[in-house]
Amino acid sequence: MRNIFASAPVAFISTTLLALATIGTGAVVSSLDAATARQCANHLWPADAHATHVEWCQANGYQVKLGPGF
């Protein structure tokens, strides 16, 4: 019995789909990281959860603006 994955067209399509999925995942992760950095830098969260969010941002390496008005 012939292995379907040994076929050149199937191998090409599989490799192409894997590459597209990998690129798409990278774009989503990059976008999510940028949004998280923006949220941490600008305190974009409910006031009653401020301390928890600041602590999380600092623990995960995101910069948080501290000082008057924040």
In this predicted model, which residue has the larger pLDDT, 69 or 34?
34
Taking alpha carbons only, the member of 26, 52, 28 closest to residue 39 is 52
Bin 45: left if φ > 0, else alpha if -120 < ψ < 50, else beta. Answer: beta
Q: Confidence class of residue 69 from pLDDT cuts 50, 70 and 90?
A: low
Parse the chain into domains and list their residue ranges: 4-59
Is the distance from CB of 36 to CB of 28 less than 8 angstroms? no
As a whole number of angstroms, the distance between CA 20 and CA 26 comes to 10
Q: Confidence class of residue 1 from pLDDT cuts 50, 70 and 90?
A: very low
> Taking the model in full, what pTM does it have?
0.60
Token pair of 61 as six digits: 């390496």
Question: pLDDT, tens digit, for every residue of 11-40?
Answer: 788 888 888 778 777 777 788 899 999 999
What SS3 class is residue 43?
A: coil
